[in-house]
Amino acid sequence: MDKNLIEQLRFLQDGLVKNLPTFRRAIMTKIDWNFPLVAIMGQRGVGKTTLILQRLKEKNEGVYFSCDNVSIIEHGLFQLVYDLYKEYSQRIFYIDEVHKYPGWTQEIKNITDSFPEAHVVITGSSSIDIIQESHDLSRRVLLYPMNTLSLREFLAYKYSINIPEYQLDDIFIHGPEISYQYAPQMKQIYFMEYLKEYSYFYRTQVDESSEYFMLLENAVKKTIYEDISRTHNVESKNLLLFEKILYLLSSITPTEMSYTKIAQKLQIDPKTTEYYCTILEKAGLIHIIKKQGNITQQITKDKKILLSNTNLAYLYNLLFSESPNIGMLREIFFIECIKRTRTIVSLHSKYDYLVEHKTKKRVCEIGGKNKTISSKDPNTYIIADDILVGTDKKIPLWLFGLV
């Protein structure tokens, strides 16, 4: 056993645990930490490392290490766990950035097979598809997607406004009552602050917005030039196209957000556009919304492509001293909230979106406070910005930030 490596791991772990924030993400209580193998996947900056270090500190047991440490790669992942298990009686392992270790799926499988008393928690990029990477591994892991900071979490952290989490059905059915109850605590300025610069918790680590956007831009670049280039067969010279797609999505109207329009503006093949957008969606940077219809129709019809959160829209617009399209911001926020619930959402033929939750189908039109529609269908709703309290058929946009 390499004593120097163990001392290095202890030193790094002690330093990281000392400076943890006290704020806990909601996902902390939803994870079955006692399951033999837990995977927490999410895009860069959502707080995966902080989450597992908080768990380690809270329980005061286990060992943490990251696979971006060259010493880990040289020593060997399986060998390290074996040594810690046998010589140091460690049974809980928090393995960060697992996707950076070559052949990680096989070694994690070997670890779970060889050490039945071990509990292993791994974190990795959202661009990693465990099911595609290893069918054997996918059958023995509890997979938890970790999202960006929700509006509800932001309000709790920044303004000590503690609103309970609601189910999507609650928002649609009891929206007026819920919004009336919490409207006195909620302000439109809070909502706009969140939309601009609080999707990622590391905003709290810097004083100025400009510093935050520098960190955000760096995280996006690392996602493209490190994570995507490592996990997908894309030539280096074409990686710049991913940045161009993201910038374009921040500067065009929602009606233009399709493969065809993007391909035309970038002067590339629509099939290439579709392939690159699929990769960006796996990386957690965009959402692709299909049109309503059967599987064949969904494949053949064009899609709408949105940035995954509103902070990205502000990032690219600020680079060019512009303001994001308000309609785009509304749709990005709404879709991000719906996606958190793993609900099926598609483009509606007449209005904006069709939301299919459990057995219920609801039609949603996104707009401002003066938005009106002619439909008398009881399952058609206006999702309205610039209002704090809803009515029977008009739900405040911010309310979806509570799911």
Q: Where do the domains of the chain lie?
A: 3-145, 151-402
Q: Does domain 151-402 have CATH number 3.40.1160.10?
A: no
Q: Confidence band (pLDDT; 50, 70, 90) for 73?
A: very high
Strands (E), 198-265: none
Mean pLDDT score, 349-355 = 95
Half-sphere exposure of 394 (CA within 13 A, CB side): 17
Closest CA to 67 of 94, 42, 38, 34: 94
Predicted local distance difference test score (pLDDT) of residue 49 = 97
Closest CA to 357 of 366, 344, 347: 344
pLDDT in tens, 1-24: 678 898 999 999 999 999 899 999
Mean pLDDT score, 178-197 = 97
SS3 of residue 75 by DSSP: helix
The domains spanning 3-145 and 151-402 adopt the same CATH topology: no
Q: Confidence band (pLDDT; 50, 70, 90) for 131?
A: low
Given a contact cutoff of 8 angstroms between Cβ atoms, the answer to whether 57 and 14 are in contact is no
Instruction: Give the count of beta carbons closer than 10 Å to the beta carbon of residue 267.
Output: 6
- Give the full edge-to-edge strand order of the sheet including 142-145: 63-66, 92-96, 119-125, 37-42, 142-145
Q: Which residue has the higher pLDDT, 323 or 400?
A: 400
Q: What number of residues does the chain have?
A: 403
Q: Specify the fold of 3-145.
A: Rossmann fold (3.40.50)
Mean pLDDT score, 122-126 = 90
pLDDT in tens, 250-280: 988 888 889 999 999 999 999 999 999 999 9
Given a contact cutoff of 8 angstroms between Cβ atoms, the answer to whether 41 and 97 are in contact is no
397's tokens: 């946009």
pLDDT in tens, 203-250: 999 999 999 999 999 999 999 998 898 888 888 889 999 999 999 999
Mean pLDDT score, 378-384 = 95
Res. 100: pLDDT tops 60: yes
Instruction: Give the count of beta carbons closer than 10 Å to the beta carbon of residue 78.
Output: 17
Given a contact cutoff of 8 angstroms between Cβ atoms, the answer to whether 28 and 55 are in contact is yes
**What distance lies between CA 159 and its chain's CA centroid?**
23
Mean pLDDT score, 149-159 = 97
Using left for φ > 0, alpha for ψ between -120 and 50, and beta otherwise, residue 346 falls in beta
Closest CA to 200 of 186, 214, 211, 216: 216
